[in-house]
Chain A
């Protein structure tokens, strides 16, 4: 690696060094309390997958370039030069971590491994060594935001075709639009994923609840966050923020996508709208009596996988359970409690990398399979696209014999007209 590249990468490293990141990089006592925290280590038993081992890979570079003792006495903390080989180590550490933050529950100091891995991911972007497909997908999303007019017509035609499916789930009065798009003054902007499964059930439920809603032109998923690029993450997020402001909505409702929800929910800038996950909105409709559900439509028993970015990392925990009370009399929560819920093994962009990561994803999520099997449930519900894909893959691979369902889809199927 030449000096110029290294300097550029170190500038990127520097850009991530705020107060919290310094705390995380300075404090690890390598006590080993986090050993059993990571699902990858728990499933595969390799030391390189222990959280503290992962962040030490980043920390060694930090010590080398950002600590005077790394220059005076590098062997003390095994300070390490940023080289091609170091980039390979960073890649392995970052793209075997799903960013579930389960290790944060174990650490006596509360070190956030996902934060530390975001440095590794950013350095990989800077060195053009990140998974190319994630950057391409992020750039496609950004491009869509810049040239909305180019794809608008196709989008509207595609949406029109879905309306009949929505009406099958919830009958509409004559003249009503099943999937409203670009409605100024709507109360709620629904940001879906590119796929009918993310739009049809949600639309039926909004219509059933008589919501004054409109569908976003943009898909919720933020590939910029997966690839760990703050600039791309912001550009992708800004498309939705600008659309929400243009339409003057009061609430932005994010579909079943963990990363998209957390990224939007936790932005610091104050906005004229609130951000909700679709699960929160559905729980609200039930609480307010705006929708009613028929329990006989759901096969039992049911268990629920808490998507890490929605539950442990964003606090949507009671709402899915409240919804499930209205869907079944035999809900079986996983053990132990939510803080210790195992990650599905598909986060952090791993599912988006598809077959490339399939073998690893299957091996590294064995503990999740055991956790689901222990419930004896026949339906495995969840509220995140990535989790759904990963859990479906696990279901096939381990022949778990469960039906993996989106929570929204279960609600739409159980709506009482």
Chain B
């Protein structure tokens, strides 16, 4: 079991990040080097400045708000929570003063960010099971949601235990020890990380997160990089 823990928590993490960064980088370079479309793809009426409105379209999803307001609420909650989780994870590596401009406890959100994210993912999943979105969906759509849900639920469970039930065996310092050792390329798995009762939660969380990172560059989640450029095409 120790070997499995080791493989998932050290080599697989490096592989996952390498695939994520190289894969995403290569795909971005390739697509942005493709020739531009020979004609305009704008729609009218035109509003200016186009680039600013494209930024608004990308981050505020006004078309979704207008046509599917419930979905919009969940999408906004999902994306904001996802961003906050990334910040939360950065703080599990080291103390960033810039993030602490608004002083808060690490891990951010007292467990509620993970809860919101889990509920949003369940909403997306069940919404997809209903017609007509069911007929539009392909297996990738379900796999991604399930993978994210598993990642989030195991990660959040550790957070909830600490924040809500006073579970104190694995705290910020232990995570920082492990994650910063990975960042500084001196990977170390202390017993404080591998022995407590919640270690298997951490291993599963990291395992699913690794799979997600490996899948990312080859999936529709690349919309996180493409959407702005596409909205700019529409705005002209």
Q: Do A and B bind each other?
A: yes
Residues of A within 8 A of B (CB): 17-24, 26-33, 35-36, 47, 50, 52-53, 56, 67-69, 75-78, 101, 104-112, 115, 266-268, 311-315, 317, 338-339
Contact A30 B230 (CB under 8 A): no
List 26 interface pairs A-B (beta carbons < 8 Å), by A numbering: A17-B34, A18-B38, A19-B31, A19-B35, A27-B227, A31-B68, A32-B71, A32-B132, A53-B135, A56-B136, A56-B138, A67-B218, A77-B140, A78-B138, A101-B43, A106-B67, A107-B63, A109-B223, A110-B231, A266-B39, A267-B38, A311-B44, A312-B44, A315-B46, A338-B45, A339-B45
B155 to chain A, nearest CB (A): 23
Given A27-B226, A76-B139, A109-B227, the answer on whether A33 and B63 have CB atoms closer than 8 Å is: yes
> What 8 A-B pairs come out closest when comparing CB atoms?
A110-B234, A315-B44, A19-B34, A32-B133, A20-B37, A266-B39, A47-B135, A30-B136
Task: Determine if A30 and B138 form an interchain contact, defined as CB atoms under 8 angstroms apart.
Answer: yes
Cross-chain contact A109 with B226 (CB below 8 angstroms): yes
Which residues of the other chain, B, contact A22 by a CB distance below 8 angstroms? 31, 34
Cβ distance B61 to chain A, nearest Cβ, rounded Å: 5
Contact B71 A31 (CB under 8 A): yes
Which residues of B have CB within 8 Å of A53?
135-136
Determine the residue in chain B with the shortest Cβ distance to A104: B43
User: Is there an interface contact between A29 and B41, defined as CB atoms closer than 8 Å?
Assistant: no
**B43 near A339 (CB under 8 angstroms)?**
yes
B36 at the interface (CB under 8 A from A): yes
Count A/B pairs, Cβ under 8 Å.
143
In the complex, the chain A residue whose C-beta lies closest to that of B31 is: A22
The answer to whether B40 and A26 touch across the interface, beta carbons within 8 angstroms, is no
Residue in A closest to B45 when the chains form the complex, CB atoms: A317
Q: Is B141 an interface residue (CB 8 A)?
A: yes
Q: B112 in the interface, Cβ–Cβ < 8 Å?
A: no
Contact B43 A312 (CB under 8 A): yes
A169 to B229, CA, bound (A): 50
B72-106, CB under 8 A of A: which get 1 and which 0? Answer: 00000000000000000000000000000000000
When C-beta atoms are compared, the residue in chain B nearest to A114 turns out to be B41
Q: Say yes or no: is B159 at the interface (Cβ < 8 Å to chain A).
A: no
Report the Cα distance A101→B39, complex, angstroms: 15
Complex: A192 Cα to B177 Cα, angstroms: 76
B233 at the interface (CB under 8 A from A): yes
Residue B22 is within 8 A (CB to CB) of chain A in the complex: no
Q: Smallest Cβ distance from A313 to chain B, in angstroms?
A: 6
**For the complex, what is the distance from the CA of A35 to the CA of B20, rounded to whole Å?**
32
B195 interface residue per 8 A CB criterion? no
Q: Are B37 and A19 in contact, CB atoms less than 8 angstroms apart?
A: yes
